[in-house]
């Protein structure tokens, strides 16, 4: 009898775990009517991108940024998410972990290839470090993100297909004349070229990393090269010191890109009030995403799944619809992106079934809760997955 009861209890436990996992419908009509919003002024001494008190931040040697100079001039850097085929067998970990990105205020993950490969865009503002990488090439969706923040842009190469030509897009948007672009694949005559170098990892026995994921950029020095007259629009978010208690449980998020070496988990730790990212892999335990030199986990206060329709004009030519705009494919057919959709926000171990909206290139992306009110984020760092609406995300 005792054995039967034990078996029944085990079955109930397994059933409760299965029921707790919720698969998100990315295109469901949530009936959310977003409120009218405006840009906000940030109190002196506080960050518009993290809500943190700038005086409380620990500044690494050689860094610059808002917390150092008082100047708001973000820098966005294209960060590779390559396969570590020698150690962990997953992307962006082990010998292929990123460096310097622990200082990023916001990290975006966008699909790079139809096979589920992804790439990061790291936005630095509070603290802009001397070295960050590995830096790789840009795609159209990254260009559109740069327009949102009107920031400095560091990238090593760019897509130049006719319909997804990064150079043409930057020119059409006027970014090329602002002095904020720092492409790495230029000649040595460009003054910023000196701040790109082949990275040598201290933790990896002072070894030089293997191409093509070996380029480091001195974001701090490049940011100083931007004319002081350039003043980007301050697209401040709303932040709160109060913990979010609404919604439903959101202590674990599974992002399914369709390949185990890229699929990721975000797991909430109530003791630290932070989410840690790990990569699924083929082993029993996922591999924690860490910074290369310190081997410390890169953590976040806010995690957002921003459902964005993604069109591929070639296997490695994604167009991530993160803004209202229109493009044409190779046959001249018009493709329209509405610049809005569902968003699932995770804070304090809670989940909000919300919405997002960005109706112009120079407008900020606004995230709304289930009632249509603008989200007040937790103070700290944010990870945004601009997720293809044809992929899957579930949570517990």
Whether residue 2 lies inside any domain: the answer is no
214-254: per-residue pLDDT in tens?
Answer: 999 999 999 999 999 999 988 899 999 999 999 999 999 99
Q: How do strand 252-256 and strand 366-368 relate by DSSP bridges?
A: unpaired
Side-chain-side CA neighbours of residue 63 (13 Å): 24
Whether residue 171 lies inside any domain: the answer is yes
- Mean pLDDT of all residues in 61-69: 97
Whether residue 35 lies inside any domain: the answer is no
Whether residue 16 lies inside any domain: the answer is no
Question: Which pLDDT score, from 0 to 100, does residue 16 have?
Answer: 44
Whether residue 350 lies inside any domain: the answer is yes
- Mean pLDDT of all residues in 245-266: 97
9-31: per-residue pLDDT in tens?
Answer: 454 444 444 447 999 999 999 99
CATH number of the domain at 61, please.
3.50.90.10
Q: 284 falls in which pLDDT band (50, 70, 90)?
A: confident
Question: Which pLDDT score, from 0 to 100, does residue 3 have?
Answer: 53
Whether residue 333 lies inside any domain: the answer is yes
Q: Is pLDDT of 59 > 60? A: yes
Whether residue 335 lies inside any domain: the answer is yes
Question: Which pLDDT score, from 0 to 100, does residue 332 have?
Answer: 85
100-140: per-residue pLDDT in tens?
Answer: 999 999 999 999 999 999 999 999 999 999 999 999 999 99
Question: Which domain range does residue 360 map to?
Answer: 54-395
67-105: per-residue pLDDT in tens?
Answer: 999 999 999 999 999 999 778 999 999 999 999 999 999
Residue among 240, 128, 236 nearest 182 (CA): 128
Task: Give me the number of domains the chain comprises.
Answer: 1
Contacts 24+ apart (CB under 8 A), 14-23: 20/249, 20/396, 21/254, 21/394, 21/395, 21/396, 22/248, 22/394, 22/395, 22/396, 23/392, 23/393, 23/394
Strand partners, 299: 276
Question: Which pLDDT score, from 0 to 100, does residue 206 have?
Answer: 84
182-213: per-residue pLDDT in tens?
Answer: 999 999 999 999 999 999 999 888 887 889 99
Whether residue 12 lies inside any domain: the answer is no
Tokens of 309: 């329709």
């Amino acid at each position: 009898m005792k054995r039967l009861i034990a078996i029944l209890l085990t079955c109930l436990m397994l059933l409760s775990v299965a029921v707790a996992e919720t698969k998100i419908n990315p295109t469901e009509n949530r009936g959310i009517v977003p409120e009218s919003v405006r840009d906000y002024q940030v109190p002196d001494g506080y960050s518009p991108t993290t809500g943190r008190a700038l005086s409380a931040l620990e500044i690494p040697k050689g860094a610059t940024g808002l917390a150092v100079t008082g100047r708001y001039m973000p820098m966005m850097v294209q960060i590779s998410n390559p396969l570590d085929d020698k150690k962990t067998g997953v992307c962006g970990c082990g010998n292929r972990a990123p460096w310097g990105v622990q200082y990023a205020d916001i990290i975006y993950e966008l699909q790079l290839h139809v096979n589920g490969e992804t790439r990061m865009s790291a936005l630095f503002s509070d603290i802009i470090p001397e070295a960050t990488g590995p830096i790789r090439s840009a795609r159209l969706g990254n260009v559109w993100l740069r327009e949102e923040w009107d920031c400095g842009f560091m990238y090593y190469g760019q897509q130049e297909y006719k319909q997804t030509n990064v150079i043409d897009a930057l020119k059409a948007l006027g970014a090329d004349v602002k002095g904020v672009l720092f492409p790495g694949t230029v000649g040595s005559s460009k003054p910023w070229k000196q701040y790109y170098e082949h990275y040598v990892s201290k933790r990896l026995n002072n070894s030089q990393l293997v191409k093509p994921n070996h380029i480091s950029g001195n974001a701090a020095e490049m940011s100083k090269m931007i004319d002081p007259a350039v003043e980007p629009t301050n697209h401040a978010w709303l932040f709160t010191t109060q913990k979010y208690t609404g919604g439903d449980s959101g202590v674990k998020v599974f992002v399914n890109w369709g390949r185990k070496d890229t699929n990721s988990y975000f797991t909430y730790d109530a003791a630290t009030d932070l989410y840690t990212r790990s990569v699924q892999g083929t082993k029993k335990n996922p591999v924690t995403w860490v910074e290369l030199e310190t081997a410390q986990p890169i953590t976040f206060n806010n995690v957002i799944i921003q459902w964005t329709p993604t069109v591929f004009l070639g296997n490695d030519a994604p167009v991530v619809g993160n803004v209202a705009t229109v493009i044409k494919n190779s046959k001249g057919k018009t493709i329209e992106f509405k610049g809005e959709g569902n968003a699932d926000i995770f804070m304090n171990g809670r989940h909000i079934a919300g919405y997002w909206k960005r109706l112009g290139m120079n407008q900020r992306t606004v995230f709304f809760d289930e009632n249509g009110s603008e989200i007040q984020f937790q103070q700290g760092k944010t990870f945004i997955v601009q997720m293809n609406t044809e992929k899957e995300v579930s949570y517990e």
